């Protein structure tokens, strides 16, 4: 029987600000007391990650990364904080020294944290550190690196993944990899896709899930060899788990993995598997009735249930995530909150096993929700900002990782005694930098876009804002296309960094976005160049018609991935922009299909290009078709290792503008993939972007020395 859902989502409060086009003067400071936010400050800010709560729920440990431009060096260490005492108690749990990368902390017990590091070992290995005396102990010394550690206190095992060959162990695989490197021929033969995936060529080795028994009495140490828990799986070899955890009784391990085989490059099917922790028998698939993607499987603390996120539509990576509840005894599946229109991203059980705690994109935010299993009532507990992780403290409070366009990821204590919850900040890692900066609030407005649907837009104001002046606009265009631009911090895209360089920043979450209901997301199918373009141009017209502080003749646009596709589309359909920046964008939808690694996004959205009807859709949505109209100067940026959208797409678009004699540049990174992640490269990238836009808008901007 379909359960009836009760939705309890209140209208959440936002800062009381006047009309976005006539901003309240009180939100602007005495500018003499603040400095501009520039890329050097941005790239060198501390980055918090992998927060983990202790078994007694009194302590948090997390990793902290920082890059130093002066020394061109990076460091990452572990930090510890007492939840009850707050940030004044925070200390470095491992030394904070250049070149050391301690990461991925997990708790073994209330006094011991395991983590990954190199620290003189051949590759990433497992170490532990004591929270009482800071002593560090090495647990493994594999030549093959390990990643993604998890611990089962009842199993007394650590789980991790390592890249191995079929039938080979961890060290055997390292030896085989070395042997292959010495072969006189470097040729590799393929008989199925993938040939390459994301940023590497697919060879014979796969990331496999291992568990290793440890002794937790006295010094933590390994007491047995790692076992491959999926080695006896009867399907295609090579299940690569992407999420896993131990059962409360320690007997089983739960994981999700994409189904391998001849069709894996155009199918999204993923299994949820449960197997014994010692790999003694093959894991059993729990969701064979689904052919779509699955993720985030978790056990209930009472050991009676499993929940996971399930997409129903085969071949569609942006289908709605359904929350599936699985009774371990009866093996019965139940869909929770079946009438809820948004798409959860990460789920956990509450400590009492009676609720599902999850995060989901919701309009401009990524919020925390709690669903009561018995009643299907959903409540929202955070409003502004982006939640990335959540850990329960007790029945009234959680620790969440939260950010916004005004501050990077920080830990907050969330009191859920009321809706929305009350937030108290726990960590202040970047306070010294942020106190010297003015970062624009995220202002929003709604308008009627394509098909008369409501569409949300965001506006950020420039540093030194004076309502009597006119400012150039940077239009930020999101990728995906089935994703949205959230009010959250990014390590590569900071709207406030652009605003601080003297631009009004404008963002529209156009059709296709993932935060406005599944119908809104699905609307982009067959419509890559239509509904989003209509939303983008309508939003721009509303901005320039109503915001007197905007210079309508000084608009520039930037987009990445699908956003880069839209930059190419805009170049063929409008002359309202003075300049574009296109990072890793699609130029030719047809050639893109044949070159990309994952075929399912294009197949779902436009079909198979050699089929007559689909070919018409590809052509209708192809930016290359409109190159005769291209006239806007453009900077193209791309990484050689981008196999999602290969660099030939940018070279092709660059060739068009060069051949037409239109000002254009190509910024090439031989060691980057779909994203620019190396800090020196990020600084070069931002310098070229700002320099290009600055020259076309007559704006003085930061430049790399």
**DSSP characters for 477-507?**
E--SSS----SS--SS--HHHHHTTT-EEEE
Predicted confidence at residue 6, as pLDDT, reads 28
Predicted confidence at residue 1, as pLDDT, reads 29
Instruction: Give the pair of three-digit tokens for residue 558.
Output: 């930037």
Instruction: Give the pair of three-digit tokens for residue 163.
Output: 């890249």
The span from the CA of 138 to the CA of 128, in Å, is 6
Per-residue model confidence as pLDDT tens digits over 418-432: 888 999 999 999 999
DSSP percent split of the chain into helix, strand, coil, nearest 5: 20, 35, 45
Q: CA angle at residue 516 from 546 to 582, to 5 degrees?
A: 65
Q: In the structure, what pLDDT confidence band is assigned to residue 217 with cuts at 50, 70 and 90?
A: confident
Predicted confidence at residue 216, as pLDDT, reads 79
Nearby residues of 11 by Cβ (< 8 Å), 6 or more positions away: none
- Round the average pLDDT of the chain to a whole number and report it: 96
CATH of domain 438-697: 3.40.50.1820
Q: Is the pLDDT of residue 699 over 60?
A: yes
Q: In the structure, what pLDDT confidence band is assigned to residue 164 with cuts at 50, 70 and 90?
A: very high
Predicted confidence at residue 7, as pLDDT, reads 30
Per-residue model confidence as pLDDT tens digits over 488-536: 999 999 999 999 999 999 999 999 999 999 999 999 999 999 999 999 9
The span from the CA of 692 to the CA of 230, in Å, is 51
The mean per-residue pLDDT over the stretch 624-647 comes to 98
Would the pTM of this model clear 0.75, i.e. be above it?
yes
DSSP state of 624: G
Q: Which residues pair with 159 in a beta bridge?
A: 150, 211
Predicted confidence at residue 18, as pLDDT, reads 46
The mean per-residue pLDDT over the stretch 169-178 comes to 97
Per-residue model confidence as pLDDT tens digits over 557-569: 999 999 999 999 9
Instruction: Assess contact for 523 and 531: CB atoms under 8 A.
Output: yes
Percent of the chain with pLDDT over 70: 97
The span from the CA of 599 to the CA of 263, in Å, is 10
Per-residue model confidence as pLDDT tens digits over 390-409: 999 999 999 999 999 999 99
Instruction: Assess contact for 600 and 608: CB atoms under 8 A.
Output: no
The mean per-residue pLDDT over the stretch 29-54 comes to 98
Per-residue model confidence as pLDDT tens digits over 436-465: 999 999 999 999 999 999 999 999 999 999
Instruction: Give the pair of three-digit tokens for residue 172.
Output: 């055997």
Q: Is the pLDDT of residue 5 over 90?
A: no
The span from the CA of 681 to the CA of 133, in Å, is 39
Predicted confidence at residue 418, as pLDDT, reads 85
Predicted confidence at residue 103, as pLDDT, reads 98
Give the number of other CB atoms < 10 A from CB of residue 659. Answer: 10
Angle subtended by helix axes 531-546 and 562-571, to nearest 10: 70
Where do the structural domains in the chain lie, given as residue ranges?
235-379, 438-697
Nearby residues of 10 by Cβ (< 8 Å), 6 or more positions away: 380, 419, 420
Predicted confidence at residue 17, as pLDDT, reads 34
Q: Is the pLDDT of residue 197 over 90?
A: yes
**In degrees rounded to 5, what are phi and psi of residue 133?**
-125, 0
Of 76, 73, 83, 48, the C-alpha closest to 62 is: 48
Per-residue model confidence as pLDDT tens digits over 265-323: 999 999 999 999 999 999 999 999 999 999 999 999 999 999 999 999 999 999 999 99
Q: Is the pLDDT of residue 175 over 50?
A: yes
End-to-end CA distance of the chain: 66
Considering only the top CATH level, what class is 235-379? mainly beta
Q: In the structure, what pLDDT confidence band is assigned to residue 218 with cuts at 50, 70 and 90?
A: confident
Q: Is the pLDDT of residue 11 over 70?
A: no
């Amino acid at each position: 029987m379909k359960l009836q859902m009760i939705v309890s989502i209140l209208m959440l409060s936002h800062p009381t600000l006047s009309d976005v086009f006539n901003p309240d003067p009180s939100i602007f400071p005495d500018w003499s007391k603040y400095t501009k936010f520039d890329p050097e400050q941005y790239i060198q800010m501390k980055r918090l990650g992998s927060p983990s709560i202790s078994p007694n729920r009194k302590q948090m440990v997390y990793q902290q990364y920082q890059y130093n431009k002066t020394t061109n060096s990076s460091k990452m260490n572990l930090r510890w904080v007492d939840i009850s005492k707050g940030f004044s108690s925070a200390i470095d749990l491992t030394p904070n020294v250049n070149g050391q990368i301690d990461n991925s902390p997990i708790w073994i017990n209330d006094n011991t944290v395991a983590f990954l590091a190199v620290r003189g070992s051949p590759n990433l290995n497992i170490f532990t550190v004591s929270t009482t005396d800071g002593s560090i102990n090495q647990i493994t010394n594999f030549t093959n690196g390990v990643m993604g550690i998890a611990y089962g206190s009842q199993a007394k095992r650590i789980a991790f993944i390592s890249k191995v060959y079929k039938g080979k162990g961890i060290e055997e695989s390292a030896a085989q990899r070395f042997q292959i490197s010495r072969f006189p021929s470097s040729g590799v033969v393929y008989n199925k896709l993938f040939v390459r995936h994301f940023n590497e060529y697919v060879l014979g080795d796969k990331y496999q899930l291992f568990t290793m028994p440890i002794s937790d009495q006295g010094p933590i140490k390994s007491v047995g060899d790692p076992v491959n828990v999926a080695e006896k799986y009867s399907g295609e070899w090579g299940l690569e788990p992407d999420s896993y955890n131990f059962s409360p009784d320690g007997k089983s391990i739960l994981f999700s993995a994409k189904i391998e085989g001849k069709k894996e490059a155009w199918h999204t099917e993923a299994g949820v598997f449960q197997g014994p922790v010692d790999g003694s028998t093959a894991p059993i698939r729990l969701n064979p009735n689904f052919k779509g993607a699955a993720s985030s499987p978790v056990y209930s603390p009472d050991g009676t249930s499993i929940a996971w996120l399930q997409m129903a539509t085969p071949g569609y990576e942006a289908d709605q995530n359904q929350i599936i509840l699985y009774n371990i005894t009866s093996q019965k599946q139940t869909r929770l909150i079946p009438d809820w229109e948004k798409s959860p991203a990460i789920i956990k059980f509450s400590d009492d096993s009676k609720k599902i705690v999850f995060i989901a994109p919701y309009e401009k935010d990524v919020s925390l929700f709690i669903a009561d299993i018995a009643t299907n009532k959903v409540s929202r507990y955070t409003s502004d900002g982006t939640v990335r992780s959540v850990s329960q403290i007790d029945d009234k409070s959680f620790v969440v990782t939260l950010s916004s366009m005004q501050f990077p990821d920080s830990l907050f204590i969330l009191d859920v005694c009321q809706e929305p919850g009350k937030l108290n900040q726990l960590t202040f890692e970047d306070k010294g930098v942020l106190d010297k900066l003015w970062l624009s609030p995220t202002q929003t407005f709604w308008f009627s876009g394509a098909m008369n649907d409501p569409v949300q837009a965001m506006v950020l104001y420039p540093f030194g804002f004076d309502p009597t002046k006119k400012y150039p606009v940077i239009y930020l265009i999101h990728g995906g296309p089935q994703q949205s631009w959230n009010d959250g911090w990014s390590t590569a895209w900071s709207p406030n960094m652009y605003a601080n360089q003297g631009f009004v920043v404008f963002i529209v979450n156009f059709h296709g976005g993932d935060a406005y209901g599944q119908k809104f997301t699905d609307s982009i199918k067959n419509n890559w160049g239509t509904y989003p373009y209509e939303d983008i141009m309508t939003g721009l017209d509303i901005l320039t018609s109503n915001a007197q502080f905007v210079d309508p003749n000084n608009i520039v646009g930037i987009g990445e991935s699908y956003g880069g596709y839209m930059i190419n589309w805009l170049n063929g359909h409008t002359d309202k922009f003075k300049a574009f920046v296109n990072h890793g964008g699609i130029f030719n939808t047809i050639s893109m299909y044949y070159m990309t690694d994952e075929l399912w996004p294009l197949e779902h959205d436009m079909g198979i290009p050699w089929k007559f009807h689909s070919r018409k859709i590809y052509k209708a949505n192809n930016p290359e078709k409109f190159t005769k109209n291209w006239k806007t100067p453009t900077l193209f940026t791309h990484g050689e290792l981008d196999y999602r959208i290969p660099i030939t797409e940018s070279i092709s678009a660059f060739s068009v503008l060069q051949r037409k004699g239109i000002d254009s540049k190509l910024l090439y990174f031989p060691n980057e993939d779909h994203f620019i992640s190396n800090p020196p490269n990020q600084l070069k990238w931002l310098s070229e972007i700002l320099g290009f836009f600055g020259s076309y808008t007559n704006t003085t901007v930061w430049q790399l020395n």
